[in-house]
């Protein structure tokens, strides 16, 4: 089986990651490079591991997390489907099994909240991991553009954790925000992502709970 380490060492995938992150920097977006990809890869694989999925599915979730944003090298719009198209020949070229390739590209092609549909455990874990990444370390150069709501929101988040309570069927995200932004600002840009996290958790047979500064935010909290 192709591993995450093999994927990370592939020169073509490295080039796509670099190009996509540079392009988004030009547009003023927060980090979409190795920091973001590492978070998504670890979180997606960690969710499936905590829920008792197979080693193969855990590794595929880790891989999907690392490659999910390569489509940004083409354009921010439809970067999920674009990424899936780019990845198919690359993954086959390095010898990945066709069934594993299909799991990866379907997850990548559907991770955008605007148009994506969760259809597998890997897809669900990827969606939760990607949509939950909000933290001050995503702000480029450590200096927020105070006129940019995405920078303000991310810079205000001092702590972010995603945990799995398998016994009670809960996937919980907990954020600690300071006063440089607000919960209202967070919700104004993250609400569609929260809804996708709820749908993804439901696919996995779990409830998604979001807490900000120790207070429940979404209607799943307390179930």
Residue 63 falls inside a structural domain: yes
Q: How many domains does the chain have?
A: 1
Q: Is residue 114 part of a domain?
A: yes
Q: Is 146 contained in some domain?
A: yes
pLDDT attached to residue 211: 97
Assigned domain for 139 exists = yes
List b or e across 169-191, with b for residues whose CB sees 16 or more CB atoms inside 10 angstroms.
Answer: ebbbbebebeeebeeebbeeebe
- 72 falls within a domain: yes
The answer to whether residue 18 sits within a structural domain is yes
In sequence order, the 6+-apart residues with CB closer than 8 A to the CB of 39 are 129, 133
Say what the pLDDT of residue 221 is. 45
Please tell me whether the overall predicted TM-score, pTM, comes out greater than 0.75 for this model.
yes
Q: What Rg, from alpha-carbon coordinates, does the chain have?
A: 17
Which residue range forms the structural domain that includes residue 180? 4-216
Report the CATH number at residue 133: 1.10.3210
When pLDDT is cut at 50, 70 and 90, the band that residue 220 belongs to is low
Q: How confident is the model at residue 143 (pLDDT cuts 50, 70, 90)?
A: confident
Kindly state whether residue 222 falls inside one of the protein's structural domains. Answer: no
Q: Is residue 223 part of a domain?
A: no
């Amino acid at each position: 089986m192709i591993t995450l380490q093999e994927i990370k060492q592939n020169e073509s995938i490295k080039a796509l990651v670099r190009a996509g992150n540079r392009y988004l920097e030009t547009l003023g977006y927060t980090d979409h490079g190795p920091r973001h990809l590492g978070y998504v890869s670890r979180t997606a694989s960690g969710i499936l591991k905590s829920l008792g999925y197979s080693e193969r599915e855990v590794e595929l979730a880790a891989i999907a997390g690392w490659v999910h944003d390569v489509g940004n090298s083409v354009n921010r719009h439809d970067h999920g489907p674009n990424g899936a198209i780019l990845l198919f020949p690359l993954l086959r070229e390095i010898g990945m099994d066709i069934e594993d390739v299909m799991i990866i590209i379907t997850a990548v092609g559907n991770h955008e909240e605007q148009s994506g549909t969760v259809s597998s455990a890997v897809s669900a874990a990827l969606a939760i991991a990607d949509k939950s990444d909000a933290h001050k370390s995503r702000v480029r150069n450590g200096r927020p553009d105070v006129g940019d709501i995405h920078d303000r929101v991310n810079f205000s988040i001092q702590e972010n954790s995603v945990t799995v309570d398998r016994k009670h069927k809960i996937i919980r995200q907990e954020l600690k925000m300071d006063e440089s932004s607000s919960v209202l600002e967070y919700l104004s840009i993250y609400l569609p992502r929260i809804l996708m996290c709820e749908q993804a958790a439901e696919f996995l047979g779990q409830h998604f709970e979001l807490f900000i500064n120790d207070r429940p935010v979404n209607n799943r909290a307390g179930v």
